């Protein structure tokens, strides 16, 4: 188990939802002292993932209030523990969804910490000392160094923040299917939001033909001109879907709401795979015929381990890949979350944490 101190002595200023109305208000709380394996980070930016919205509104029925969301965190190290060798004060770093894992199971040993059955997340988790974890909608974070990554010098901290969750969540299943090394495949991305737009960028960087499948016709021009998508299918248009039948090798499904997988599966070639990363609170419709008549597979994937996170971050540095963001401030969080709910952001809000803080904290 990760070594930590049980002493929660540090006062931190953050923002929390206190009930399922999802309203976010300033919240002062305590964090643990910096332990021997910990680094302390001055949080500068934090992305707003749709998972934050699921949590603040208790969509999944698992929220422990008050919840301080945020797992797309970038900032600068202000303190390092005595066991920490690869980080120093002043380093530009990022933290994603992982706060603690057992470090001993087969998944942890293979850097698939995200599949450790004792995994604790950056917020709404229960840390080893029994405390509830609070996320990046806050001015300061204490993190075990094993779940922290360097940010390449050429990448800005604001547009890089969403890579810590959205980026690795789409990178990991693409790597699992060797798409990062074998160009020339036809891949589909369902849902052009925070996760989806990064998947399109990765798909193009890896040399694939990328089709966006979207409910929003208004996103077509940008998808093609800004993100480099090759094709765009409107998923509510039966004619368009018919034209796309049996054309794709692989589909990444990032949709956040209930929908039927049947019409999407028909877009896969025989033996194609759909990886679902979107997490609606209601079950998908999964009709049997499109699966059995096309020998198609549907599987899931959750975030990514630390090896994948580092590899993705280095790759983004090399190819200069960042996210398309709209910067917001802590006092506009309710409005930002409402717009995420309405599918009205291109393509990720990132909070400038330093804007609007009480001056004494």
The residues binding Zn ion (CB under 5 A) are 49, 51, 165
306 interacts with ligand NAP by CB under 6 A: no
- Give Cα separations from 342 to 43, 97, 232, 334 (angstroms): 27, 24, 21, 12
Residue 11 Cβ vs ligand NAP, minimum distance, rounded to whole Å: 30
First vs last Cα of the chain: how many Å apart? 31
DSSP structure class, residue 219:
G
Residue 133 Cβ vs ligand NAP, minimum distance, rounded to whole Å: 16
Alpha helices in the chain (DSSP H): 50-56, 106-109, 157-160, 166-176, 194-205, 220-225, 238-243, 262-265, 288-292, 306-319, 333-341
219 interacts with ligand NAP by CB under 6 A: yes
Chain residue at closest Cβ approach to ligand NAP: 193
155 interacts with ligand NAP by CB under 6 A: no
254 interacts with ligand NAP by CB under 6 A: yes
**Residue where the block lists tokens 């547009």:** 159
| 188 vs 181: CA distance, rounded Å | 17
DSSP structure class, residue 138:
B
Q: Give the count of residues interacting with ligand NAP (CB under 6 A).
A: 30
DSSP 151-203: PPTTS-HHHHGGGGTHHHHHHHHHHHTTTTTS---EEEEE--SHHHHHHHHHH
- Cβ nearer to ligand NAP, comparing 50 with 175: 50
139 interacts with ligand NAP by CB under 6 A: no
Residue among 40, 101, 214, 328 that touches ligand NAP (CB under 6 A): 214
**CA-closest candidate to residue 39, choices 2, 1, 71, 77:** 77
Residue among 4, 51, 160, 309 that touches ligand NAP (CB under 6 A): 51
**CA-closest candidate to residue 350, choices 136, 153, 182, 169:** 136
Stretch touching ligand NAP by CB under 6 A, among 186-194, 239-247, 260-268, 325-333: 186-194
- Cβ nearer to ligand NAP, comparing 42 with 324: 324
| 71 vs 166: CA distance, rounded Å | 10
274 interacts with ligand NAP by CB under 6 A: no
Residue among 192, 210, 261, 313 that touches ligand NAP (CB under 6 A): 192
Stretch touching ligand NAP by CB under 6 A, among 19-27, 116-124, 164-172, 318-326: 164-172
- Contact residues toward ligand NAP (CB under 6 A) are 49-51, 54, 165-166, 169, 191-196, 214-216, 219, 254-257, 259, 277-279, 301-303, 340, 343
């Amino acid at each position: 188990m990760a070594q930590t101190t049980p002493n929660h002595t540090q006062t931190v200023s953050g923002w929390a939802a206190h009930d399922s109305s999802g309203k976010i208000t300033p919240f002062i709380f305590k964090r643990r002292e910096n332990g021997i394996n910990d680094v302390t980070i001055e949080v500068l930016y934090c992305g707003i993932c749709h998972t934050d919205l699921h949590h603040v509104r208790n969509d999944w029925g698992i929220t422990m209030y008050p919840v301080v969301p945020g797992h797309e965190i970038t900032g600068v190290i202000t303190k390092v523990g005595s066991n920490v060798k690869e980080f120093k004060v002043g380093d530009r770093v990022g933290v994603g969804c992982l706060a603690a894992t057992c470090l001993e199971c087969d998944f942890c040993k293979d850097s698939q910490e995200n599949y450790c059955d004792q995994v604790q997340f950056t917020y709404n988790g229960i840390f080893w000392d029994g405390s509830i974890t609070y996320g990046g909608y806050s001015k300061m974070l204490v993190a075990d160094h094993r779940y922290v990554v360097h940010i390449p010098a050429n990448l800005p901290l604001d547009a890089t923040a969403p890579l810590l969750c959205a980026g690795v969540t789409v990178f990991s299943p693409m790597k699992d299917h060797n798409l990062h090394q074998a160009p020339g495949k036809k891949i589909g991305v369902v849902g052009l939001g925070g996760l989806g737009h990064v998947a399109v960028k990765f798909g193009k960087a890896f040399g694939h033909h990328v089709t966006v499948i979207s409910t929003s016709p208004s996103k077509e021009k940008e998808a093609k001109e800004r993100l480099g998508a090759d094709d765009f299918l409107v998923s509510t248009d039966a004619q368009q879907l018919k034209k796309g039948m049996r054309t794709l090798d692989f589909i990444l499904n990032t949709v956040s709401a209930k929908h039927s997988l049947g019409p999407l599966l028909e877009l896969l070639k025989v033996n194609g795979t759909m990886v679902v990363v979107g997490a609606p609170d209601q079950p998908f419709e999964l009709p049997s015929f499109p699966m059995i008549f096309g020998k198609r597979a549907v599987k899931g994937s959750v975030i990514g381990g630390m090896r994948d996170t580092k590899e993705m971050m280095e790759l983004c540095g090399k190819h200069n890949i960042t996210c398309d963001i709209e910067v917001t401030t802590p006092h506009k969080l309710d409005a930002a979350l409402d717009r995420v709910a309405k599918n009205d952001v291109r393509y990720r809000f990132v909070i400038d944490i330093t804007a609007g803080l009480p001056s004494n904290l």
